């Protein structure tokens, strides 16, 4: 009898993610591949959907590219092996070890045609606007799939996605060579941004973080100084370290209006603040502060094309993600050992990666 179902973590509503039996993805259409998932990381945005969603998941209005809406299988930070090829797929073979960019896009709009597919007007993020990889199998467009060199293990490869977010954020800032850089928040994206800032030649990397475990991680991945906004006046501290002016560049990696203001306040005049966090509420802000200081505020969403560069840097050892993986669980434990664990013990965790169940 053919096996027709697999276990998947399906978002139904806020606080209602169910590990349930769902149909296996169909044979991949032309230009798509089916991937047998090895590992899939729990992202801050997955947690956001669990705790406060829907944030990005379409409810009542299907995504214009995929036609899909809730309920959807979550998960977009994944690695695995090609299980099946759709028609017209070249350069990939069954059994290839891979990871995949999650930005499914139309290829036709202004942004897609100008190298900014991450802000495609029909953007359909894997695991938020189409079925994702907290499942045994996932179908994705072949153009988003990247082969892994033999020396990049599948668990580390699940971190290529958040590392690409960090690398894209650095690129949004422009050159940071020699600069004093402040990274606000040392969760996964903050830590990935620290790693990429070091790789990009930042002079000093100052992490702002309150949780002890994350402070240690920040130091482990290359922060030159860690300051705690709860116990010190970090704006004054950073001014003291920079001749009274402030940092050249900051990266907000939390998504809170208060830490966004902090990211703005810690930079010097004409400095750059890159906002990477996902915000869920508006803020009041006097735009005169921008006019009067010529500070620049820059948004950074996901990535566009950074996967290959991140994989190359993992392969040659320039970047190391091992310190970021703090937990490994099976899919059946994703609620208690994943989402609830991250809600209640955020301070002890960075990246929890999830192994789906094999389909017999």
- Specify the residue, 79 or 180, whose C-beta has the smaller distance to Zn ion: 79
- As measured in angstroms, the least distance from the Cβ of 296 to Zn ion is 25
Are residues 168 and 192 in contact, defined by beta-carbon separation less than 8 angstroms?
no
- Specify the residue, 77 or 248, whose C-beta has the smaller distance to Zn ion: 77
- As measured in angstroms, the least distance from the Cβ of 212 to Zn ion is 24
- As measured in angstroms, the least distance from the Cβ of 78 to Zn ion is 10
SS3 167: helix
Q: Which residues of 244-265 are buried (b: 16+ CB within 10 A; e: fewer)?
A: eebbbbbbbbbbbbebbbbbbb
∠155-161-164 over CA atoms, to 5°?
Answer: 130
- As measured in angstroms, the least distance from the Cβ of 329 to Zn ion is 17
- As measured in angstroms, the least distance from the Cβ of 159 to Zn ion is 10
Q: What is the DSSP string of 93-159?
A: -TT-EEEE--EE--S-SHHHHTT-GGG-TT-EEBTTTB--SSBSEEEEEGGGEEEPPTTS-HHHHTT
Give the dihedral sign, CA 173/174/178/179: negative
- Specify the residue, 109 or 315, whose C-beta has the smaller distance to Zn ion: 109
**Nearest one of 3, 142, 149 to 85, comparing CA atoms:** 142
- As measured in angstroms, the least distance from the Cβ of 316 to Zn ion is 24
- Specify the residue, 6 or 123, whose C-beta has the smaller distance to Zn ion: 123
344 CB-near residues (< 8 Å, 6+ apart): none
Are residues 8 and 22 in contact, defined by beta-carbon separation less than 8 angstroms?
yes
- Specify the residue, 229 or 305, whose C-beta has the smaller distance to Zn ion: 305
**Paired tokens of 136:** 């045994």
Residue ranges that bind Zn ion, judged by CB under 5 A: 43, 77, 105-106, 109, 112, 120
Q: Rounded CA gap, 292 and 93, in Å? A: 56
Q: Rounded CA gap, 192 and 267, in Å? A: 20
| Helix 160-173 / helix 188-199 crossing angle, nearest 10 deg | 60
- Specify the residue, 112 or 249, whose C-beta has the smaller distance to Zn ion: 112
- Specify the residue, 114 or 288, whose C-beta has the smaller distance to Zn ion: 114
- As measured in angstroms, the least distance from the Cβ of 48 to Zn ion is 10
- As measured in angstroms, the least distance from the Cβ of 134 to Zn ion is 12
- Specify the residue, 120 or 167, whose C-beta has the smaller distance to Zn ion: 120
């Amino acid at each position: 009898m053919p096996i027709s179902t697999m276990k998947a973590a399906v978002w139904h509503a806020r606080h209602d993610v169910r590990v349930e039996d769902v149909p296996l993805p169909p044979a991949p259409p032309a230009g798509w591949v089916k991937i047998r998932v090895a590992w899939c990381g729990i992202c801050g945005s997955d947690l956001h959907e669990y705790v406060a969603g829907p944030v990005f998941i379409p409810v009542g209005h299907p995504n214009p590219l995929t036609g899909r809406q809730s309920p959807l299988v979550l998960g977009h930070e994944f690695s695995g092996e090609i299980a099946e090829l759709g028609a017209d797929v070249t350069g990939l073979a069954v059994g290839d070890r891979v990871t995949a960019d999650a930005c499914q896009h139309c290829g036709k709009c202004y942004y897609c045609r100008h190298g900014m597919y991450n802000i495609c007007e029909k953007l359909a993020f894997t695991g938020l606007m189409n079925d994702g990889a907290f499942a045994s199998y996932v179908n994705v467009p072949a153009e988003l799939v990247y082969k892994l060199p033999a020396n990049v293990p599948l668990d580390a490869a699940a971190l290529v996605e958040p590392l690409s977010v960090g690398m894209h954020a650095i690129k949004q800032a422009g050159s940071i060579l020699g600069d004093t850089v402040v990274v606000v928040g040392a969760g996964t994206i903050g830590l990935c941004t620290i790693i990429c800032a070091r790789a990009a030649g930042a002079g000093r990397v100052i992490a702002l973080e309150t949780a002890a475990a994350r402070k240690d991680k920040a130091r482990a991945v290359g922060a030159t100084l860690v300051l705690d906004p709860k116990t010190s006046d970090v704006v004054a501290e950073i001014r003291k370290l920079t001749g009274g002016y402030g940092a050249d560049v900051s990266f907000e990696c939390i998504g809170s209006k208060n830490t966004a203001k902090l990211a703005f306040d810690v930079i010097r005049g004409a400095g750059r603040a890159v906002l990477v966090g996902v915000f869920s509420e508006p803020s009041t802000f006097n735009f005169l502060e921008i006019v009067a200081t010529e500070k620049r505020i820059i948004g950074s969403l996901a990535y566009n094309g950074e996967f290959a560069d991140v994989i190359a840097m993992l392969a040659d050892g320039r970047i190391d993600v091992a310190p970021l993986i703090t937990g490994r669980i099976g899919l059946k434990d994703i609620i208690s050992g994943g989402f609830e664990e991250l809600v209640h013990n955020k301070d002890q965790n960075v990246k929890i990666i999830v192994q789906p169940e094999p389909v017999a």
